[in-house]
Structure 1
Amino acid sequence: MLPDWLIGLIMGMVEGLTEFLPVSSTGHLILTADLINFGGPRSTVFEVVIQLGSILAVVVVFWKRLWSVVGIKTSGYKKTKLNLIHIIIGAIPAGLAGVVFHDFIKNVLFSSRNVVIGLVAGGILLIVAERFAKEPKSTNLDQISYTQAFLIGCFQVLALWPGFSRSGSTIAGGLLLGLNRKTAAEFTFILAVPMMIGASGVDLIKSWNVLSSSDLTLFITGFITAFIVALLAIVFFLKLLEKVKLTPFAIYRFIIAIVFTLVYLV
């Protein structure tokens, strides 16, 4: 068994790299945990902690935009058209579905077979989105309409299926609804803040009795690593999307699905 600090470092890096790329952090975390023999109740709590590290990275990258969304003035503040209503109506579909089906998702959908299905289906959605993407009418966050925000939120419901990928489903939805790649990704990241905090908060409360002071090294290392790596991954991915389509990510998902199948289903 690897030492806690090394487990935290490895899992934090995987979480930070994959949480906001359209490749499914869930599938990668399951594979990695299996490879390093990391499991049990504390692994579930640990995944929640490193997800919070990743979401903190979004807050840091988009802090001025997030403050403007809620109407808080900052240095260089400029009133923007993207507001809290966009975020609320975008979060409603997945938020409601997550509350209603929480136990079903955790107890039934988190199986190897379902993760493979999610990886493949999500990859197909990326290819479809690139093939049938509308001519971009929304090329920045302030051009997103309430209707687009709600419909992108509906695409986010797909991410409740493990392996589908939150960023993959919402970026694909954004392309199909007339956003360019960069704008779709930016809205996806901002929309992820309330969703991930809410979902992680619920899981953390339910698993509070599993926490132990002896796990501090694991949790702190994982949280900090996930935060730093996610910070770099977000900046890199936004620049990459200006040059690269989603199809390569779809192909990568199919490769991971094959690996997943060989490891767990054969």
Structure 2
Amino acid sequence: MDPILLAKAAVMGLVEGATEFIPVSSTGHLIIAGRFLGFDAWHGAKTFDVFIQLGAILAVVWLYRAKIVNVLRTAPGDRKSRRLILNLVIAFLPAAIVGFLANDFIEEKLFNPVTVAIALVAGGIVILLIEGWHRRVRTETVDDVTPKEALGVGLAQLLALVPGTSRSGATIMGGIGLGLSRVAATEFSFFLAIPVMFAATLYSLWKARHGLSAADAPVFAVGFVVSFVSALLVIRWLLRFVANNSFRGFAWYRIVFGLILLGLYFTVLRG
């Protein structure tokens, strides 16, 4: 196996794990990283980008394993556990339905550097607007989220179908805009990522099943492991960060990065 290819896979895994759960768009960063590394020219690149998302989402499952097991175990007799499951179903459905129907169009028309750059800038502006809007926190913990708030977060997640928007950014900022505390919005985004990313990943892998080869397993394994470890570290850091900080730093990063990408595209990448 080509060591250069394995090194590129490690970098791509690091990009996925580091950006999946912060509001900067992992998909956008993977598109850009793949273009700069030349990784997108590899025959399995698209399937690889999807597969390494499993590493990131398993990091959430591992960190919250005790709560997940408890919710599933107590759901028959515990109202809070049943409500959390119901809320996740409600929030999951909008993006699942629209994403399934529009998947081919999104992959064909929107997976490009210009769309990513514009979405990064627009998303950054939206984050600044939400952070500047002083709202009252009505929901302190993830267990207190109402079905109406869950639906609102699910509708906000539709924006993340556009590459560069950020699934975590849309759901976290949507939750904050609806009156969830920063920690509640972030944790609900984490839990919502489990069904959303598993469904999207498994669907994409099923579509690409005939192009998979056992010879490519080392590349996929490296990306998966690096994605899992880096996501684990980022999630732990983010939970501490959001307790006492705003998302303005991420917003400005998105705006600056998006503008740089637009400049690079029209001066370098386009050619």
Band of TM-score, shorter chain: over 0.9
Determine if the alignment matches structure 1 residue 63 to structure 2 residue 65: yes
After TM superposition, which residue ranges in structure 1, 4 or more long, deviate above 6 angstroms? none
Deviation at 1:80, TM superposition (A): 4.1
**Contact 1:45 / 1:204 at 8 angstroms: preserved in 2?**
yes
Which residue pairs with 2:124 in the alignment? Answer: 123
Alignment partner, residue 51 of structure 1: 53
Structure 1 stretch displaced more, 99-108 or 209-218: 209-218
Aligned-residue offset at 1:10: 0.8
The corresponding residue for 2:209 is: 208
The one-letter code matched in structure 1 to 2:109 is V
Counterpart amino acid of residue 222 in structure 1 = G
CA distance in 2, matches of 1:247, 1:140: 22
The TM-score, its normalising length taken from structure 1, stands at 0.94
> Aligned-residue CA RMSD in angstroms?
1.9
TM-fit CA distance, 1:5? 2.1
Paired residue for 1:101?
A: 102
Kept after mapping to 1: 8 A contact 2:121/2:255: yes
Q: 1:212 to 1:241 in 2, by over 3 A?
A: same
Normalised by the size of structure 2, how large is the TM-score?
Answer: 0.92
Contact 2:56 2:228 in 1 (8 A): yes
Note if contact 2:121-2:256 (Cα within 8 Å) is conserved in structure 1: no
Partner residue in 1 for 2:227: 226
Whether the 8 Å contact between 1:89 and 1:146 is mirrored in structure 2 is yes
Query: Shift in Å at residue 89 of structure 1?
Result: 0.3
Q: In structure 1, what is the Cα distance between the partners aligned to 2:143 and 2:60?
A: 18
Q: How does 1:142-157 map to 2 (within 5 A)?
A: 142-157=143-158
Alignment partners' CA distance in 2, 1:129 and 1:227 = 30
Contact 2:32-2:113 at 8 Å conserved across structures: no
Aligned to 1:250: 251
Contact kept? 1:133, 1:178, Cα under 8 Å: no
Q: CA deviation at 1:230?
A: 0.2
Shift of 1:82: 4.2
Residue 248 of structure 1 aligns with an amino acid whose one-letter code is G
Matched to 2:224, the amino acid is: F
1:91 & 1:239 partners in 2: Cα distance?
26
The secondary structure found in structure 2 opposite 1:3 is helix
The 1:105–1:213 alpha-carbon spacing in structure 2 relative to 1, beyond 3 Å, is: same
* Cα drift, residue 263 of structure 1: 2.3
Structure 1 gap segments, 5+ residues each: none
Number of matched pairs: 263
**Secondary structure of 1:228's partner?**
helix
Counterpart code for 1:44: K
Per-residue Cα deviation, 1:207-234 (whole angstroms, up to 9, x for no partner): 1122112211110000011001101100
**Aligned amino acid, residue 64 of structure 1:** A
Relative to structure 2, which stretch is displaced further, 126-135 or 157-166? 126-135
The structure where helix makes up a greater share of residues is: 2
SS at match of 1:138: coil
Q: Which amino acid aligns with 1:240?
A: F
Contact in 1 for aligned 2:139/2:179 (Cα 8 Å): yes
Q: Which residue of 1 aligns with 2:241?
A: 240
Shift of 1:16: 0.4
AA aligned to 2:16 is E
State the alpha-carbon separation in 1 of the partners of residues 86 and 31 from structure 2.
Answer: 35
| Matched residue, 2:115 | 114
Say if 1:45 and 1:207, in contact at 8 Å, map to a contact too: yes
Q: Deviations over 1:117-146 (max 9, x none)?
A: 211111112112112252111111111001
Q: Give the deviation of 1:102 after TM superposition.
A: 0.8
